[in-house]
A and B are shown apart, each in its own frame.
Chain A
Amino acid sequence: EPEVTQTPSHQVTQMGQEVILRCVPISNHLYFYWYRQILGQKVEFLVSFYNNEISEKSEIFDDQFSVERPDGSNFTLKIRSTKLEDSAMYFCASTYLEGAAGFDEQFFGPGTRLTVL
């Protein structure tokens, strides 16, 4: 069964450093998302991406965040200068089409645990 994959599974970085989290969405999907989950809290939307541009972003997704689809398979989230409060699980998700004919399930990856020291 196709699945979303994410690397690395755990990333430890120093405050102020740049990190890139990588995702490989399901191959025929068109919409890609990043979410984060601070320990013990709910999953929060960061950004959605379609047709090589950002479709929507939340208030969390400020100027220190960026996303990119550098090739036909990878989808990355970059945090330019990490802060302690960026420590969280980051989930990538993808879906085939934006709900034109009904709800399109978002498939989530296993997540990358980011620890900022």
Chain B
Amino acid sequence: GESVGLHLPTLSVQEGDNSIINCAYSNSASDYFIWYKQESGKGPQFIIDIRSNMDKRQGQRVTVLLNKTVKHLSLQIAATQPGDSAVYFCAENGRNSGYALNFGKGTSLLVTP
């Protein structure tokens, strides 16, 4: 079936560096693509979303890029901080899925001082 997946299971970066987390998707009918952050022992927390008719969206220290040609989504975190250490999930959300979120497998980001 349709799937959302991640390229790398773990990513280790130094504090202050920029981080890039990648995701591949297969459902071209998705309306939105979303990034969630999950800290240990907590539920997923919304970071940023991007509509399927956009290719870039910026938030506070985060940028999401969407490449529909190759069905690729990325999350860029600027000046990564220790508090950014978490598992990051991409997800897709579309009318044909009843607005349920279809999550990818997750990338663990570890920020070292």
Contacts and interface: CB of A to CB of B under 8 A. Distances in A.
Interface stretch (B12-20, B67-75, B96-104): B96-104
Nearest to B90: A42
A72 interface: no
Contacts, number: 65
A44 B103 CA distance: 7
B22 interface: no
Interface bin, chain B = 20 to 34
A51 B38 CA distance: 29
A25 interface: no
Interface of A: 4, 31, 33, 35, 41-45, 48, 55-56, 58, 91, 93, 95, 98-99, 102-111
Given A91-B44, A108-B43, A111-B42, 9 more contacts: A42-B104, A42-B105, A43-B89, A44-B103, A45-B100, A56-B99, A58-B100, A103-B93, A106-B46
